[in-house]
Amino acid sequence: MRRSQLSSVAQLSDLIEHGEMSYAAQQIKPVRPRSGSERWFEWLVRPPLEDHSLSTADFINAVESLDLSLDLDTRIVKDALAWLDMQPINTRLCINVSTATLVNRHFSEFVVSTLQHSHLLPSQVCFDITLHESAGHFAGVSRFIRVVRQVGCVVALDMGMPGNALLGMLAPLGLVDYLKVDRAIVQAAPGSPVHREMLESLVDYGKRLSLPLVATGVDSERHLELLADLDVEYYQGFLDGEPVIVAGQGFRDQFDQVERSA
């Protein structure tokens, strides 16, 4: 499906309904190797595999412009939980959901119902919330977080830049399980005193709240060494390779490839 074809609500809705998107997974790993066998991935939506001309950004923009975010996020969660339901119990999946969907009461009801009819432990499911997209929606976002955490899911907040007002409201309320550090800060920190100071500030903030941090955008050993020096707990990035595309019946085999490369 070409970009020009995404102007039709019916066409894009049909694509979503039939699950024609593809997905990628990126592993989240401890900065310092530890005992245990937890497998943790972030679940990333991609355009249909056969359409090499359509970027992920174009696909998401088309969905948002046609007011289909709820449809897409519902499909993403269905597919993600269906895959997770087939995995070992030590697997956790982090799922990104748009703010427009988070504030919809029907979506949180759907999440709870789907989990109740699965064999999953709710703690295997992590919802990743991007703070800069959620500004101005404190009531709706906090309500969603309370609902999913009440049934046992965990929540990661992508902090963005220091000083985010929503972070200052949510984190002290105990509504957060992990903090994620923006890739732009992490990538620049080794060579930029300003960005290193930002990173150190976010690390200190997480430690004051006793919240583990996940640093994103870790593409080199230099990044990883800095995170170890700062006692950051987890990381994700291209250091361990590109996210693995998973689709259809290939889910299990391709995720096994990710695990073997870890």
pLDDT tens-digit readout, 87-130: 889 999 999 998 889 999 999 999 999 999 999 999 999 999 88
Burial bucket for residue 191 (CB in 10 Å: 0-12, 13-18, 19+): exposed
Q: Which residue has the tokens 């930029």?
A: 192
pLDDT value, residue 1: 44
**Structural domain contains residue 256:** no
pLDDT value, residue 93: 96
**Structural domain contains residue 250:** no
pLDDT value, residue 246: 77
pLDDT < 50: residue spans in the chain:
1-5, 248-255, 258-262
- Pull the structure tokens for residue 35: 């005992």
Residue-wise pLDDT for 22-41, tens only, equals: 898 999 999 998 777 789 99
CA distance 25 to 50: 18
> What residues make up the domain containing 151?
3-238
**Structural domain contains residue 245:** no
pLDDT value, residue 174: 79
**Structural domain contains residue 243:** no
Torsions phi, psi of 92, nearest 5?
-120, 145
Number of domains in the chain: 1
- Pull the structure tokens for residue 81: 């939980």
Write down how long the chain is: 262
pLDDT value, residue 197: 93
Q: What CATH number should be reported for the domain holding residue 48?
A: 3.20.20.450
Determine the straight-line distance between the first and last CA of the chain, rounded to whole angstroms. Answer: 34
Query: What string of DSSP letters covers 80-148?
Result: HHHHHTTS-TTEEEEEE--HHHHT-HHHHHHHHHHHHTSS--GGGEEEEEEHHHHTT-HHHHHHHHHHH
pLDDT value, residue 162: 54
**Structural domain contains residue 214:** yes
